[in-house]
Structure 1
Amino acid sequence: MPDRADHARRGGAAPGSAVRRLPAEESLFSCIYGLVLASALVAALDATGDQADPGPDALWVVLTALAASAAHGYAHVIAQRASADGAATVSRLRLVLAEWPLVAAVLPTVGILLGAVAGWWSEATAVDTALVFNTAALFGWGTWAARIAGYGWPSSCRAGSLDMLIGLVIIIADTLID
């Protein structure tokens, strides 16, 4: 039994009809990248021994995600400019704006930190919760990306587990560094 699904279009399916409902490969990449970025930032910003201040931490997570998404989108623009003519086009602006999933992926972490600002829990609890949430989300996004790529459930779960391993490494590093 092959582990890779057949990519041939089913008879009677309209061209591109299934593709429109599936997220683009770049969106999945950006979401996974955003989750890793948010986890690393929230772990790094969690200062032990210092006064807890989750509000600025949340702001730094958002600003860093915006800067990373803009830099990644602009890198696409530079690559396109190098391979084509030098004229600025709307398609190049779309390349930059297409990085929105990276920013969207950090929003749960920001929400959890803002919960600490509201006094619902401590910053340490918010950091721990964000790290666990992001690690579980990495498994989900990694599994989903592999399923969309046509892999079967066993391989998809292995891919999700490898993505989740990144989150676990960040949790372990946060524990050892603190």
Structure 2
Amino acid sequence: MDKSTARRLPRLEFEPLIYGTVTLMTVFIVSTDDGINDFGDAASVVIGPMVASALAHLFATVLGHVKHHRSLPTRGEFADDAWHSAQFLLLTIVPLVLLSIGRATGWWSAATTLDTVADLGLLFLLVVGAVSGWHVARRPWLGAVVGAGAAALIGLVVTVMNLVVEHH
């Protein structure tokens, strides 16, 4: 792929992926505590927060642009903002695929799927933290460890919240 092609392809950004992952992990913890066992309800728990997050992010980004530039974004800027916000929706793919497989095969329940996806979310945060740390540090291995550690701290907060919700 040449440089001109690479410039035309949209980039994945860590920001919405991290926000969305933490949001989904939190929603999954609360919803499984409430006893969601229906696959349709579980799909709603996956889709609802990410659609709301994508729309809220796009709205906030456009308002931020208006505040700073005293004008609406151009079509190109809006397209970039829309892609950036739409990345929240990418986070629905794995949970929805796993929910679909679970429903079609009966191999696992909706609650088990949401628990598994929350665990995968923690793993995803660790990988993203490590990759980010690797790219910004003078000593890449140290940066990867620090980045993964910061992500683990976020995961710990979500886990503690899980314990609080379960024992409340």
Secondary structure of the residue that 1:46 maps to in structure 2?
helix
1:30 pairs, out of 8, 12, 16, with 16
Deviations 1:26-52 (A, max 9, x none): 81111111111111111111144x461
Aligned to 2:32: 46
1:96 alignment partner in structure 2: 82
Larger radius of gyration: 1
Deviation digits for residues 66-89 of structure 1 (CA, Å, limit 9, x no counterpart): 211121122111111112233452
Which stretch has the larger CA shift, 88-97 or 37-46?
88-97
Q: Shift in Å at residue 121 of structure 1?
A: 0.5
Identify if the C-alpha distance between structure 1 residues 40 and 146 changes in structure 2 by more than 3 Å, giving closer, same or farther: same
- Conserved 8 A contact 1:34-1:65: yes
Equivalent of 1:69 in 47, 54, 67: 54
Q: Which moved more, 1:132-141 or 1:118-127?
A: 118-127
Give the counterpart of 1:154 among 142, 154, 159: 142
Residues 1:147 and 1:101: Cα distance change in structure 2 (over 3 Å)? farther
| Residues 26, 158 of structure 2: 8 Å contact kept | yes
Q: Is the 8 A contact 1:69 1:103 kept in 2?
A: yes
Which residue identity lines up with residue 162 of structure 2 in the other structure? Answer: D
- In 2 relative to 1, CA 102–177 (structure 1 residues): closer, same or farther, beyond 3 Å? same
Aligned length: 161
Change (3 A) 1:59 1:155: same
Structure-2 change in CA distance of 1:177 and 1:107 (3 Å): same
Deviation at 1:163, TM superposition (A): 1.1
Corresponding residue number in structure 2 for 1:108: 94
Aligned partners of 2:130 and 2:144 also within 8 Å: yes
Hey, what does 1:144 align to over in structure 2?
Answer: 131
* Alpha-carbon separation, structure 2, partners of 1:175 and 1:53: 23
Q: 1:168 to 1:115 in 2, by over 3 A?
A: farther
Q: What is the aligned-residue identity percentage? A: 22
TM-score by length of 2: 0.78
Task: Kindly indicate whether residue 45 of structure 2 is the aligned counterpart of residue 60 of structure 1.
Answer: yes
- Judge conservation of contact 1:112–1:126 (CA < 8 Å) in 2: yes
Question: Which structure: greater helix fraction?
Answer: 2
Q: Which structure 1 segments of 5+ residues have no match?
A: 1-15
Deviation >4 Å, runs of 4+: none
TM-score computed with the length of structure 1 as normaliser: 0.74
1:52-109 Cα offsets, whole Å, 9 max, x none, are 1132222232121121112112211111111223345212243123222222124223
